[in-house]
Amino acid sequence: MKVGIIGIGIAGFRTTTPELSWKELTYEAAAKAYQDAGVDPRKDVKAFVTCAEDYWEGFGIFDEFTPDQIGGALRPVCTVCGDGIHGLATGFMQIQTGLVDVVAVEAHSKISDLLTYEGVVQHALDPIWNKPLRGHPFYVAGLEMNAFLRASGNTEKHCAAVVEKNRNNALRNGIAAYGANVDLNDILTSEKAFDPLKKLEISGLADGAVVLVLASDVAAKKLKRKPVWIKGVGWANDSPSLETREWERAKYAELAAQMAYRIAKVKNPAREIDFAEVDDRFSYKELQHLESLGLAKKGQAGKMTANGDTALDGKFPVNASGGSLGCGDVVEASGLHRVAEVALQLRGDAGKRQLDGVKVGIAQSWRGIPTTSGAVAIMGVNQ
Amino acid sequence: MGQTPQKWPGIELSNDDLLNKKVTQTRYHPRAKFSWSAGEAMSRFLNELKEGRLIGRECKHCNKILFPPRMFCEQCFKPTSKWVYIKDTGTIQTYSISYLDKDAKRITNPIYVGVVSIDGASEKMGIMHYFGEVTKDTIHIGMKVKAKWKPPLERTGSILDIEYFRPLKEGEQ
């Protein structure tokens, strides 16, 4: 059975949203998605998936709070404690079973409600091995960047080029919270944070919500919608421990992509896929992910970026949306936002950042430090 | 049926053993502080509490007064339409008498707690709160109650601006 995206709703993104509760923010995205899909959530949507993590929300057992704001009161609802693409995969599978034909997937960030972001990330470290060392948890990104650059041959300048590209792309994206006309020099001279990682190479946090409506091919036809097809999904984790994981490459992204490529029957990703939205919470992550997904040859992602190949008008545009660096890190909504961007591009609805003639796109997510949790979705205009 | 052993094998640990670090341990206090935006609906609700009033939102599509107020109706998924003041009286829907405090310590003066459906709001719309001026013999499901407000200067915009709900007296509104 084919599954496609028939509705897209995005609310935000902004550095803070003091006037709205997380419920009201999510409602805004949901109402937009249902309008876009032309569905009544109370009748047409058969199941609902929320992606959320208790510690981001500040509620225990957050699952309890998910139905109302997405139209899921007294309906089949479940929560995935993971990134939005994990939720997309869940919705995809629910439809594949034949039990339901229309599913809404939601992920949001009200991260401005959390006053101690670093504290929560630090709390994710192993209690016996790592927590006694205290320290800011982002040193994990410094460790990884150092190992990755050394092994791959990509440079700090290449990483800075990622930031320059993404934050400038974001200027063309109405929802982006961190669009800016920064240049290489601004980034390379920004203060050192977790050497070799510099301050401007770290995505800022943002509030926002994303809701997507998925439908089976039959349901989409009945609703008279032209879907963006989900061709394949995949997800994987590397080791949870800092001491036994791959530092040089994103193994989780490699494995997640292998699964998605197998389902989508993609043999040569660099040739068959036209553009990508990949996780760029830290500058080097975009390069590492491109290589792990097989979209750049090992050690070449940096050069591709510096040459402009991944620019809006390049051979293989990456993060046309502006990515997390440009739009803001919306925690669990990050992956779903990228899926939404790929779908908008494939529909031709990406406005000032619309890419020409794109037919197949890939979205990839990473759950951030200290996880090695990744997910991938491949979408196309043709069934 | 298994019998509870009178004495467990091994060496029992006391709380003092832990506190005096006689046991190998690692301690960590997560830093997780939140400051939730109340949002449009709850902000108004909390501000009205300072005035000693309860407010709801009307959903004209469902012909309901939603309380606590929300900006959208979970039944029809449309935005709610207007603010409506409701009363501070209501009916006990359910209650429990707690003989344990929050630390699970036994208490002699029990805590009366329950859900009140508020007059003027739609059915099954209300607030969970304490009950006062009741005994285990007088409190009952269906009892009419009224909010006992704190003095205006002591109100902070919290549901604790209501101290408790007490029985509605005859002739009272």
Structure confidence by residue, pLDDT tens digits, A67-77: 999 999 999 99
Tell me the average pLDDT across A251-262: 98
The answer to whether residues A17 and A49 touch, using CB atoms and an 8 Å cutoff, is no
Question: What values do phi and psi take at A260, rounded to 5?
Answer: -65, -40
Domain for residue B25, yes or no?
no
- How do residues A26-47 score in pLDDT, each as one tens digit? 999 999 999 999 999 999 999 9
Nearest chain A residue to B70 by CA distance is A24
Tell me the average pLDDT across A76-92: 97
The alpha-helical segments, DSSP class H, found in chain B are 15-19, 39-50
Residue B7: its pLDDT value, please? 75
The torsion angle over the Cα atoms of residues A47, A53, A54 and A55, rounded to 10 degrees, is: -160
Neighbouring residues of A379: CB distance < 8 A, sequence distance ≥ 6: A5, A228, A229, A230, A231, A339, A342, A343, A346, A360, A361, A362, A363
A3-115+206-227 against A125-204+229-380: fold identical: yes
Tokens of A188: 């390379």
Report CA-CA distances (Å) from A304 to A164, A310, A314, A356. Answer: 14, 6, 9, 19
The domains of chain A are located at 3-115+206-227, 125-204+229-380
Is B33 in the A-facing interface, judged by CB distances under 8 Å?
yes
Which of the 8 DSSP states describes residue B71?
S
Give the integer Cα–Cα distance in Å for A258 and A269.
Answer: 10
Length of chain A in terms of residues written? 383
Neighbouring residues of A116: CB distance < 8 A, sequence distance ≥ 6: B31, B32, B33
Q: Helix, strand, coil proportions of chain B in percent (round to 5)?
A: 15, 35, 50
Which residues partner with A216 through β-bridges? Answer: A3
Choose the closest CB to B40 out of A20, A31, A41. A20
- How do residues A122-142 score in pLDDT, each as one tens digit? 999 999 999 998 889 999 999
The alpha-helical segments, DSSP class H, found in A235-333 are 251-264, 269-272, 283-292, 301-307, 323-327
Give the integer Cα–Cα distance in Å for A339 and A171.
Answer: 19
Neighbouring residues of B163: CB distance < 8 A, sequence distance ≥ 6: B130, B132, B148, B149, B150
Residue B1: its pLDDT value, please? 53
A8 Cα to chain B: minimum distance (Å)? 17
> Chain A interface residues facing chain B, Cβ-Cβ under 8 Å?
17-24, 27, 30-31, 34, 40-42, 55, 58, 67-69, 71, 73, 110, 112-116, 118-120, 122-123, 127-128, 131-132
Which of the 8 DSSP states describes residue A224?
T
Residue pointed to by tokens 């920004």: A190
Report CA-CA distances (Å) from A291 to A112, A146, A302, B61. Answer: 33, 16, 10, 53
Domain for residue B4, yes or no?
no
Fold held by A125-204+229-380: Peroxisomal Thiolase; Chain A, domain 1 (3.40.47)
Which of A53, A34, A64, A25 minimizes the C-alpha distance to A121? A53
Tokens of B167: 């029985």
% of chain A at pLDDT higher than 70: 100
Which of the 8 DSSP states describes residue B93?
E
Residue A338: its pLDDT value, please? 98
Domain for residue B47, yes or no?
yes
Which of B53, B67, B73, B79 minimizes the C-alpha distance to B123? B67
Instruction: Look at residue A264 and give its three-state secondary structure.
Output: helix
Tell me the average pLDDT across A69-87: 97
A3-115+206-227 in CATH: which number?
3.40.47.10
Residue B138: its pLDDT value, please? 97
- How do residues A173-221 score in pLDDT, each as one tens digit? 999 999 999 999 999 999 999 999 999 999 999 999 999 999 999 999 9
The answer to whether residues A67 and A33 touch, using CB atoms and an 8 Å cutoff, is no
| Other Cβ atoms closer than 10 A to A139 | 17
Domain for residue B10, yes or no?
no
CA A6 to the chain's CA centroid: 19
Tell me the average pLDDT across A53-63: 94
A276 Cα to chain B: minimum distance (Å)? 34
Residues of A in contact with B57 (CB under 8 A): none
Domain for residue B7, yes or no?
no
Nearest chain A residue to B25 by CA distance is A128
Q: Is the dihedral of CA A330, A332, A333, A336 positive or negative?
A: positive
Tell me the average pLDDT across B63-69: 97
Answer left, alpha or beta for residue A60, where phi above 0 means left and psi between -120 and 50 means alpha.
beta
Instruction: Answer whether B36 sits within 8 Å of A113, measured CB to CB.
Output: yes
Residues of B in contact with A27 (CB under 8 A): 71-72
% of chain B at pLDDT higher than 90: 79
Tell me the average pLDDT across B55-69: 98
Tokens of A312: 């809006």
DSSP letters for A57-93: HT-TTGGGG-SGGGT-TTS-EEEESS-HHHHHHHHHH
Residues of B in contact with A42 (CB under 8 A): 75-77
Residue B83 is part of which domain span?
39-167
Instruction: Answer whether B42 sits within 8 Å of A114, measured CB to CB.
Output: no
Domain for residue B23, yes or no?
no
Residue B11: its pLDDT value, please? 80
pLDDT top residue among A150 and A134: A150
Burial class from Cβ neighbours inside 10 Å (0-12, 13-18, 19+) for residue B138 reads exposed
Residues of A in contact with B39 (CB under 8 A): 19-24
Amino acid in the structure at residue A162: V
Neighbouring residues of B131: CB distance < 8 A, sequence distance ≥ 6: B92, B95, B112, B113, B114, B139, B145, B164, B165, B166
A131 Cα to chain B: minimum distance (Å)? 8
Nearest chain B residue to A118 by CA distance is B31
Tell me the average pLDDT across B37-61: 98
Residue of B24, B25, B27, B36 to mutate when probing chain A, most A C-beta within 10 A: B36
Domain for residue B24, yes or no?
no
% of chain A at pLDDT higher than 90: 97
Nearest chain B residue to A55 by CA distance is B32
Choose the closest CB to A27 out of B26, B36, B72. B72
pLDDT-derived band of residue B104, with 50, 70 and 90 as boundaries? confident
- How do residues A270-320 score in pLDDT, each as one tens digit? 999 999 999 999 999 999 999 999 999 999 999 999 999 999 999 999 999
Residue B2: its pLDDT value, please? 67
Q: Complex ipTM, two decimals?
A: 0.92
Q: How many domains does chain B have?
A: 1
Residues of A in contact with B41 (CB under 8 A): 21, 24
Residues of B in contact with A127 (CB under 8 A): 26, 28
Residue pointed to by tokens 């329950």: B114
Q: Is residue B99's pLDDT more than 60?
A: yes
Q: Is residue A98's pLDDT more than 70?
A: yes
Is B30 in the A-facing interface, judged by CB distances under 8 Å?
yes
Question: What values do phi and psi take at A296, rounded to 5?
Answer: -135, 150
Domain for residue B12, yes or no?
no
Residue of B24, B29, B31, B37 to mutate when probing chain A, most A C-beta within 10 A: B37
Instruction: Answer whether B72 sits within 8 Å of A24, measured CB to CB.
Output: yes
Residues of A in contact with B30 (CB under 8 A): 119-120, 122-123
The answer to whether residues B77 and A71 touch, using CB atoms and an 8 Å cutoff, is yes
Which of A177, A23, A93 minimizes the C-alpha distance to A375? A93
Element containing residue A344 per DSSP (H, E): helix A334-347
